[in-house]
Chains A and B, each alone.
Chain A
Amino acid sequence: MTVSVGLSVFGDARYRAAARPLFDDGRVDAIEWTVDSWLSGDGPPGEAAAWLAAYGANNALIAHGVHYPLLAAAPDFLRGEWLGKLSEDVKRHRYQGISVHFGFATGWELAEGAPLPVPRCAESTALGRDALVALHAVAGCDVGIENLALSFSAGEAASQGAFIDDLLSPLDGYLLLDLHNLYCQSVNFGIDMTDLAKTYPLQRVREMHVSGGSWSGSNGARIRRDTHDDRVPNAVFAALPALRALCPRLEFVMLEQLPEALETDAQVQGFRADYQRLREVVHGG
């Protein structure tokens, strides 16, 4: 299968300025749009809207949702609100699929947050399956789940793939394999990256994310974090060819970087260099 290399785009002016030459040179095969950017604005600005229209018409636009409460037990109204906004979004854009994050971020007194791991049990499995069915009903396209960068233990890291497979099975959904998230789990728990990847349902992978991150200290230990604010590690690039060979349904490989990390000329040049390197790794030159 032909694999498209592209960008996870943002409407932010810094991002558009950094990515524009890549579009102008015809080096962007496909794009991913973070649908719940509606939380921070009214929608994509003109240039990004034009990208979405053009790539959508060419079957080269895929969607991603950061804040959908897939495995949050309590705040069902948040799921309804999110799906209500998505129902308007999908009238304007033609997506090849939509993926959301594994985990939960909301509950107690919090209505927004970062995704955290969830213990696998009958209730969490039923919750996640129902939430995917609801997502599919509104999106009208294939639905997927992205693997999480954080686990509370090595055992949880090694079993997340089976949990995700269990959630995806009823709808034959797809896995968005985030290679940097996999790298985080690999280095944080001392598990070989390819061995860890093999615990995921790789036959379900339609999309990969490639990004950078950062290190943080905690109790004297270095922890790899999924912050999308730095260059892609060499280890991620190095792992990509072998992982691609294990994913027969792979269609899209997307570079992710936050606009906040595109402030300086060095950051912009690094972003473009990473993208070119990604194209060379996937397309062979």
Chain B
Amino acid sequence: MADSGFALFQSRLLELLWEEDDPAAIKAALLADDDFAAFHDYVRGMEPRMIAVAGALVRKWGRAR
């Protein structure tokens, strides 16, 4: 199976949701990374208000290794 960068995308998304409050900055960071080109359409569709909710969930329930 071709590597679309899926694992790296998930990892980067979690990191950004944990560390970055601004949904626009999260989208911009993901769209600026060519490693995630396969997911850029998906990222463009992400609504800022839902990114904010996801960030709140990650920071509330996330536990480090």
Contacts and interface: CB of A to CB of B under 8 A. Distances in A.
B57 interface: yes
Contacts of B9: 119
User: How big is chain B's contact interface, by range?
Assistant: 35 or more
B47 to A, nearest CB: 6
Contacts of B1: 122-123, 126
8 contacts: A74-B11, A107-B11, A108-B15, A109-B15, A109-B18, A109-B65, A119-B6, A151-B50
Contacts of B51: 152
Interface of A: 72-74, 104-105, 107-114, 116-119, 121-124, 126-127, 150-153, 155-156, 188, 216, 218-219, 221, 223, 225
Contacts, number: 111
A216 B9 CA distance: 27
B2 to A, nearest CB: 8
B53 interface: yes
Contacts of A219: 23, 48-49, 52
Interface of B: 1-4, 6-7, 9-15, 17-18, 23, 38-39, 42, 45-54, 56-58, 60-65
Q: Which 3 A-B pairs have the closest CB atoms?
A: A73-B7, A112-B63, A152-B46
Contacts of B57: 113-114, 116, 150
A164 to B, nearest CB: 17
A153 B53 contact: no
Contacts of A124: 6
Contacts of B23: 219
